[in-house]
């Protein structure tokens, strides 16, 4: 289901900064998602596994491959693409962070 959704998407968002988030980001890019953003609450990416300098190198490598890392950010709420009739399946349109940033997304992974 995630692979099918990512093949139809242009903008992907991943919540979390661990190994699963990296799997989501990689899977999204491999399946054609043009822009992927990873949101993590940590001060730097993979702070539980890397020092800050190694994290910077990883962030640069990911950025060169279409994955943006946003640190010290957290999702506050999701916005649907449009209002749907009661009982129908809504689709994600954007995520708004606790700092107020609005990030459009067609597919979201939580890792």
Measured CA to CA in angstroms, residue 18 lies from 30, 85, 88 at distances of 19, 36, 32
Flag whether pLDDT at 105 surpasses 90.
yes
Question: What is the C-alpha to C-alpha distance for residues 26 and 91, in angstroms, rounded to an integer?
Answer: 22
Helix (H, G, I), strand (E, B) or coil at 92: strand
Flag whether pLDDT at 91 surpasses 60.
yes
Using one digit for the tens of pLDDT, what is the confidence trace for 51-85?
999 999 999 999 999 999 999 999 999 998 865 54
Using one digit for the tens of pLDDT, what is the confidence trace for 21-46?
999 999 999 999 999 999 999 999 99
Yes or no: say if 98 and 3 are a contact pair by the CB < 8 Å rule.
no
């Amino acid at each position: 289901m995630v692979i099918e959704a990512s093949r139809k998407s242009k903008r992907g968002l991943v919540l979390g900064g661990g190994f699963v988030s990296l799997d989501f980001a990689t899977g999204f890019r491999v399946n054609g998602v043009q822009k992927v953003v990873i949101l993590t609450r940590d001060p730097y990416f993979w702070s539980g596994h890397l020092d800050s300098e190694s994290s910077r190198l990883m962030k640069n490598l990911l950025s060169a491959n279409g994955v943006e890392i946003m640190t010290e950010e957290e999702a506050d709420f999701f916005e649907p693409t449009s209002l749907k009739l009661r009982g129908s399946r809504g689709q994600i349109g954007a995520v708004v962070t606790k700092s107020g940033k609005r990030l459009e997304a067609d597919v979201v992974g939580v890792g």
